[in-house]
Amino acid sequence: MNQAIGVIDSGVGGLTVAHELMRQLPKEKLIYLGDTARCPYGPRSKEEVQQFTWEMVAFLLKKDIKMLVIACNTATAFTLNDLQEKLDIPVIGVIQPGARAAIKVTNNTHIGVIGTEGTIKSEAYKEALKKINEEIRVYPLACPLLVPMVEKGIIAGAEAQAVVAASLAPLEEFKQMDTLILGCTHYPLLKDTIQHAIGEQVTIISSSEETARETSTILDVHHLLNNEDQLPIHQFYTTGELVMFNKIAKSIFKDHKSEMLKIEKATLPMNQGA
């Protein structure tokens, strides 16, 4: 099955998921769409996020994808169930994989979650964690300043350190927290800065690896794995500014040959689906 896996995100954050998919599934072609023109999704209403997500899905369905990965926590929280019901291809999000990964590593069941306002308000992580283990103590925190900063390409240095430290300050009172879920796919780009701010005693969890493993399992179960030997050329689309998207993508995929990555501007078919 040499059709591509479709990956959607509100911006550049989902590139961290795409990178892990490419590492674990080197034979699979990816078609990625980041809606950088309308990022961030976190402050937007549920209805807006649903509309924008369906517009991205409509774009990718025209590319004949065989599976959809929602590499955006806010979009996962608000659209996953609807997409799974209405699409005839497998669809996964990043919240369940992230919750499972956190439960595997926590030693005391005290887990923090940072994310956008939309993701935190949805309580999707709390529900996912409690569904697995009702004893889990969840400490959620919205960090609305982080995504806009990452989209500007600010992922290290004094400014990033100051913004991250201020954003995470409310977590200081939760002394028992031993695990922190990065509940937004933009945040792994700030992982070192977040680790410095939160302390080495806290294990940081990104859903990327677990999401890639789940993708591999689902492709196998549905007999959709690509068995061709030729390495794929991946397609990346952005609805916004191409130069910054290209710069961030190249920094994430520095271990991949540039000729294997096609990066283009996308125009979405508006008001599709939902």
Residue stretches of the annotated binding site for substrate:
9-10, 41-42, 73-74, 185-186
Q: 156 phi and psi, to 5 degrees?
A: -155, 170
Is the distance from CB of 16 to CB of 208 less than 8 angstroms? yes
Catalytic residue among 21, 149, 177, 184: 184
Q: What tokens were used for 269?
A: 């078919």
Query: 37 — phi, psi (to 5°)?
Result: -65, -30
Q: Fill in the amino acid letter for 46.
A: K
Residue type, 18: A
Local structure of 226: helix, strand or coil: coil
Query: Which candidate in 15, 39, 49, 72 is catalytic?
Result: 72
**What values do phi and psi take at 229, rounded to 5?**
-85, -25
Read off the tokens for 51: 């509309």
187 and 125 Cβ atoms separated by less than 8 Å: no
Residues annotated in a binding site: 9-10, 41-42, 73-74, 185-186
C-alpha to C-alpha distance for 10 and 94, rounded to whole angstroms? 13
**Sheet holding 203-205: strands in order across?**
137-142, 110-115, 179-183, 203-205
- Is beta strand 91-92 parallel, antiparallel or unpaired with respect to 67-70? parallel
Tokens describing residue 133:
């283990």
Q: Is 184 a catalytic residue?
A: yes
Residues with active-site annotation: 72, 184
